[in-house]
Amino acid sequence: MLISVGTSIVAAGIILRITRRRDPLQESLEKAGVLFVGDRNAFDEVIGWDNWINETHRCSNLIIIGKDQIKWAELSAEAISSVLSRDIDVSFIFQGKHCDKSLQAFWDELKQKDPGGRFVEWRKREKLKLFTNGEQEGKYGYYWNGEKLVVKLYFEVENKIQAPLIVFDVSFASGEFNPTDFSAGTREHVPFWEKKRMLFQAGLNISKIHNDSRLEKLE
């Protein structure tokens, strides 16, 4: 399976779901640090989005980059609140030419889930950071919790929920997202790094998207 993250080509139609019966392809992916490949529903069955959010450690941070983020507010507000309650920084980056509308819809939904106003306070303190990046089309989504990096590929799918996901083990990294963990000099510390070029490319992409994004502060 050849996947070029953030460049050009994805081998379409290949979706691997973890099963009890192991096969050489699955073992090869796991050796390369790939834990899972599938769509959103399959990911929920195997790992669970709320579990993934709650796995964020104190020494780490949570970064969610996407185009339309409303599902996070609708389905995972409690998990996001739990992470923020543990004094962990949470960043959402909204991509695409409609990023301002997407951010506002997300924020309105999130406030409805919390009549006590905790999300407002977290945002004022910049523990919850909301960014916009209108220059990025959002063909990829990136989800970082310090333990796993998830890359979502939106190529030619009718329903975004069906978009394939690739999950990488990033336990080699420093916890909080740090672009130096994805520099050429760190590859010697990552097992089977020659098979993880797509992971390093994803790390570089996250860094670029973050650096080019604008923090939308709450007045």
> How high is the pLDDT of residue 137?
83
Question: What's the pLDDT tens digit per position in 65-114?
Answer: 998 899 999 999 999 999 999 999 999 999 999 999 999 999 999 999 98
181: confidence class by pLDDT, cuts 50, 70, 90: confident
How confident is the model over 15-29, as pLDDT tens digits? 444 444 556 666 767
Which superfamily, per CATH, for 25-215? Endonuclease Chain A (3.30.870.10)
Model confidence at 34, pLDDT cuts 50, 70, 90, reads confident
Cβ contact 94:130 at 8 Å: yes
Delimit the domains of the chain by residue range: 25-215
| Lowest mean pLDDT across 10-14, 98-102, 206-210, 211-215 | 10-14
Pick from 49-63, 69-83, 173-187: least confident: 173-187
Write down the pLDDT at residue 14. 41
Output the pTM of the full model: 0.84
Does 192 score more than 80 pLDDT? no
Share of the chain above pLDDT 90, in %: 46
Find the mean pLDDT for residues 118-136. Answer: 95
